[in-house]
Amino acid sequence: MRVTDNTRLLTALRTNAASTQRLTEASRRSAAGARVSTPSDDPVAYATLVRRGSTLANMSSRTRVARSSADELTIAERALDSASDLVQQAQSLAVQGANETLSQTDRDALALRVRGIVDQLREITNTRGSTGYIFGGTRTDVEPFDASGNFQGNDGVLRVPVSDGVAPRGNVSGARAFTAAGGKDAFAELNALANALSSGSMSGINTAIDSLQAVNTQIVQVQVDAGLSIERLRSAADLMDGASTTLAQSRARDAGADDPSSLITELAAATTAYTQSLEVTRRLLSLPSLASST
């Protein structure tokens, strides 16, 4: 009889150990909120989770960079709009100066206003964003235009990778907007107008009217390019957000995190099994045959 009871006790202790392990695993998974959270849970599923987690992290990083670049381009777009306004003001002053009934004193006053526009334009062309000067091409650490209006940057393109093989432009061309690379040198044309007004050169003033129109056209073209780049980057960021959501949901399914009720049910079942196992062991230990053998 004692052998039988000892055998039953051994079986109960093994069952108790298994119930304890089951409860431990159920508690860990419930706390983690997923069926798979370690390689031992499911090696294949865990490897898939790691791979998809890496993809999600990469997509999240690219989305942040795309949105940040779009914000930088928005700053550039607004700066170009302000620059266009200044050039139009200068052109309007040139039209006034072309009036032959105007006195030289009046033209000198107009010249002074044009020089003020030159100073304002220089401030705009040296606008900074969160990553540096926005009109210097890839040379973002130095003011694109010096005190004389000379260009110190380059026409390099900064690309923003939004997916494999797809990298829209993430900056604007200050060279094409404000220098002869775009057709006209904005500062040279404004200074030429100021000098023509100061000297009373009617031919110089009339030439400036057309030249400033060309300057404004090239600024507006770069502004349009900036707007298109903004739309591309924001659209790409939105697409990546949607793809990330879908991938995250798929990853949650792989991990079993999309069905928390099953984790709770398993924890409850494991707890019940563990409690019952302890009760069986307690009863066996209370048998006279086992009690007397201890």
Please tell me whether residue 258 adopts helix, strand or coil conformation. Answer: coil
pLDDT top residue among 253 and 129:
129
Please report how many Cα atoms fall inside a 13 Å half-sphere around the Cα of residue 230, on the Cβ side: 15
85 and 229 fall within a common domain: yes
Look at residue 116 in the predicted model and tell me its pLDDT: 98
User: Do 187 and 285 share a structural domain?
Assistant: no
Residue 273 lies in a domain: yes
Residues 102 and 209 in one domain: yes
Phi/psi at 170 (5° precision): -115, 10
Q: Which domain holds residue 186?
A: 77-236
Q: Is residue 178 part of a domain?
A: yes
**Structure tokens belonging to residue 117:** 């526009």
Model confidence over 118-135: pLDDT tens digits? 999 999 999 999 999 999
Asked if the model's pLDDT at residue 153 lies above 80, the reply is: yes
**What is the C-alpha to C-alpha distance for residues 46 and 52, in angstroms, rounded to an integer?**
10
Whether residue 86 is found in the same domain as residue 210: yes
Residue 154 maps to a domain: yes
Contact between 125 and 246 (Cβ < 8 Å): no
CA dist list (Å): 260 to 42, 44, 122, 233, 249: 18, 21, 60, 37, 14
Instruction: Report yes or no on 121 lying in a domain.
Output: yes
Number of domains the chain is built from: 2
Confirm whether 47 is domain-assigned. Answer: no
Domain identity same for 89 and 174: yes
pLDDT per position as a tens digit, 19-72: 555 545 554 454 444 555 566 556 666 666 667 677 778 878 888 999 999 999
pLDDT at 285 over 60: no
> Is the residue at 40 inside a domain?
no
